[in-house]
């Protein structure tokens, strides 16, 4: 453990070994593996054309996982600068080449489509133009605990509109968050861990290194800065008694499940 003294020698500062990027990648791996397993179940050729729509962050993780076996993958996103995420540690490493494009006309060029665009992404009309072997869509809602978000969620309409014999939904939940986004789940993990830690005997307070990274990614469009921010240790605790905050973070991560339904 990374332990230092606090204001006085009586008080300790404990830093988690787990970094923010570790939490992101743990969650992304769950989603990517569920998607990979489903694609594997289709028994398709390795050069089957796979289109993944949406990069942040499920999409980039899925294409990296699929690239371990499949060789004809295109990632499509309206934000060209997100291509840089393909060459970062977010979601793992690319094995076989992945094409990137911001041309939305290409979303119809595949045999298999994976839509990760969530709220405000691909709409029902666009979905009705798909005629593919398989159509997968990520559910942006996690626990169905917010009526407004639930009513806004149109993935079932999009799924029904698409022409495909094989359709499936990527569902991720487990820690009572409202949405299934990787950023939302990361904040949920840290919030729950902070709450548990605050109740431990001897703890003065704790804090996490999480910021509002959407501004860095989508407003500043600075992927390098984002990656620097994610390389920080996720949590710091002021306490008079030693313990491992990593164990508590991992307990929360273990609750998250991702599956195709």
Q: What is the pLDDT of residues 211-224, one digit of tens each?
A: 889 999 999 999 99
Among 171, 110, 108, 113, smallest CA distance to 144 is for 171
Tens of pLDDT, residue by residue over 29-52, are 999 999 999 999 999 999 999 999
- pLDDT value for 210: 84
- pLDDT value for 9: 79
* pTM for the predicted model, two decimal places: 0.93
Residue tagged 């405000």 (tokens): 120
Residue tagged 């990648």 (tokens): 25
Q: Average pLDDT for residues 79-107, to the nearest whole number?
A: 96
Residue tagged 């709450």 (tokens): 195
CB contact at 8 A, 13 and 228: no
86 vs 55: CA distance, rounded Å:
9
Which tokens is 13 given? 């500062």
CB contact at 8 A, 25 and 89: yes
221 vs 68: CA distance, rounded Å:
28
CATH topology of domain 28-173: Rossmann fold (3.40.50)
Q: Is 256 helix (H, G, I), strand (E, B) or coil?
A: coil
Inform me whether the pLDDT recorded for 120 exceeds 90.
no
Which tokens is 89 given? 């540690």
Inform me whether the pLDDT recorded for 131 exceeds 70.
yes
Alpha-helix residue ranges (DSSP H) falling in 219-261: 223-230, 245-255
Among 86, 108, 103, 113, smallest CA distance to 227 is for 86
Q: Average pLDDT for residues 53-76, to the nearest whole number?
A: 96
- pLDDT value for 4: 74
């Amino acid at each position: 453990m990374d332990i230092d003294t606090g204001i006085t020698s009586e008080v300790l500062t404990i830093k988690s070994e787990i970094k923010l990027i570790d939490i992101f990648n743990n969650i992304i791996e769950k989603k990517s593996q569920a998607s990979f397993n489903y694609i594997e179940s289709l028994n398709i050729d390795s050069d089957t054309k796979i289109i993944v729509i949406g990069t942040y962050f499920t999409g980039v993780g899925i294409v990296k996982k699929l690239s371990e076996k499949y060789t004809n993958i295109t990632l499509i996103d309206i934000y060209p600068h997100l291509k840089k995420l393909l060459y970062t540690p977010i979601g793992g490493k690319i094995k076989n080449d992945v094409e990137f494009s911001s041309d939305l006309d290409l979303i119809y060029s595949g045999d298999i489509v994976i839509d990760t665009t969530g709220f405000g992404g691909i709409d029902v009309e666009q979905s009705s133009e798909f005629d593919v072997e398989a159509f997968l869509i990520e559910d942006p809602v996690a626990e169905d605990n917010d009526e407004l978000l639930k009513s806004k969620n149109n993935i079932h309409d999009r799924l029904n509109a698409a022409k495909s014999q094989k359709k499936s939904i990527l569902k991720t939940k487990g820690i009572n968050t409202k949405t299934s986004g990787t950023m939302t789940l990361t904040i949920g993990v840290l919030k729950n861990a902070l709450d548990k830690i605050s109740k431990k005997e001897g703890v003065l307070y704790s804090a996490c290194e999480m910021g509002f990274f959407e501004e860095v990614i989508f407003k500043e469009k600075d992927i390098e800065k984002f990656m620097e921010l994610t390389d920080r240790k996720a949590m710091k605790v002021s306490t008079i008694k030693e313990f491992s905050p990593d164990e508590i973070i991992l307990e929360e991560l273990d609750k998250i499940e991702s599956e195709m339904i």
